[in-house]
Chain A
Amino acid sequence: MSARPLVGGFSELWRTSTTRLILGYGALFAAWSIMLIGAISWETARYLESVVDRILVQRVHFLAAVERDRLPDLLAASTALDLRGVLSFGLFDADSRYVLGDIDRLPADLPVDGEVHPLPRGVARLSGQRGSRTRGVALRRAGDNLVIVLVRDYGAVDRVGTIIRGSLVWALSLTVIPGVLGGFLLARGPLRRVRGIEAAIEPIMRGNLRARLPLSPRHDELDMLADIVNRMLDQLERLLGEVKGVSDNIAHDLRTPLTRLRAQLYRLQRERPEGEQATLLIERCLGETDALLDRFRALLRISELEDLHRRAGFRQVDLTEILRRVHELYAPLAEDKSMEFSLQATAVPTVNADADLLFEAVTNLVSNAIKFTPEGGRVVLRTRTDASGVRIDVLDNGPGIAPEEREAVLQRFYRAQRGENRPGFGLGLSIVAAIVKLHGFRLEIGANEPTGTRITIYCSALPA
């Protein structure tokens, strides 16, 4: 089972593909918008500049054409209209000497050609005003050779660009921010379904191959994926069933000839006088055949238990009574091995179980413990309640099971390296594992202090 919590926080949301898609798309959108805003504001500024340029040119040409004595008034009037003082003028005689206006020196970098030119160094004005970006035009009058200089601060034009940029950035933020937030919210929907799928997979991982992933009526990508997984599980279940079927069939098919073999050996043994050498040999053969049959019976029993899904035999069961009966059954055997076999059964709440199967499971555990603990050893059978609920412990001070072997001994065909010469090790535990699984209980193999094995059945049903 994974230790990963089902409910992740922000970091889990962050990792989803939908979130990444939204963020990537948002970034692209923002970059493109910035380029667009740049282009728009640049275009606007250029257009406004050309318009202002044309006005300047028209005005200077008009001023160049009027009579000399009307000139001062017209110049004054044109600047008087200009409230913010962006437009300044200067009038110079033929020798470039100052005659009139806010500009008292002819700008050196301004060609007198009636065209608008940028003045990167600005222009000194009598009023002391200084623009951020100035452009100017100069034109010599045809009659009196006076030079008219008109200079304009283009800051206002640039400000239009700033305003446009600003409003576009606002619009962008108002689009992107709710978009991203909305995306996050949208991403949570599929995430919730992924969690649903994870929850549905839990029982499958625990070995219930009959479970399937949930499908929604939407038939979206997640459903397509879940459907693929479900079909894979169908196939897997079928294949596992076949494998199991094959091993069951082998066990079943071999049992019939073995039973006949046993019957013939038995007949032979009965026909011979007792105590003779050949009779003893036949008796040994009979014993071996019985051991073989026992193993096949156990194999088939495991497979029967694995197939058993009925809960009809389930009722509230008193564990102390079951343990008492197991103790009663095995106490003489333990005594014969000079072992101390104690029962520690405190009163525990009843558990929902099949009493016969539980008896069989505990019997197997005790039988194993007695079998693998050397003479004079100690075996404890006990039940008690702890934080995880009711539990049954079988403790011994035998050789113990190595940690790396603990999982494997629950498998059908496993035999521990130690104890190779002792019979029936693996199958008994597999039967226990099958019974525990059928109940939804949990089996744990641990170490007993200072030596030996502790096998625990936790009798609280796992969430289905």
Chain B
Amino acid sequence: MPTTTEPTAKTSRKYLATPIFGTAMGLVYLVALSIAGSPVWGVFALAVMVAFSGALLLARRRSETVKGLLDRNDERITAIDLRATAITAFALIAVILIAFVVQIARGQSGWPYGMLGFVAGVTYVVAVIVLRVRG
């Protein structure tokens, strides 16, 4: 009965997922800003994301928390990550709802906050249904 993920070759590189994603997003920013005619800002955005990804990898060596967040093999830190994500989502949804109400009170359409709130609501309902079915 495994309590944690077995240390296979696949999972041993799991910690690279977030830095790779960060670097990939930096490349996306570079392309997007280059298309928008601001390649210098694109290079800056890429540099920031590469620096952030590198800082994560360095912090992983010194911090158990960062290591746990990147490796995802410690159930307590994974639970903390889930709760932190839920709190983040709650804050984001609160901001979206407030912005939507302010917009419609000003006689505006509420776009894009109404759509964002709709996506958040539908995602929550679908997630509850799927997770309930899966047990």
Interaction A to B: no
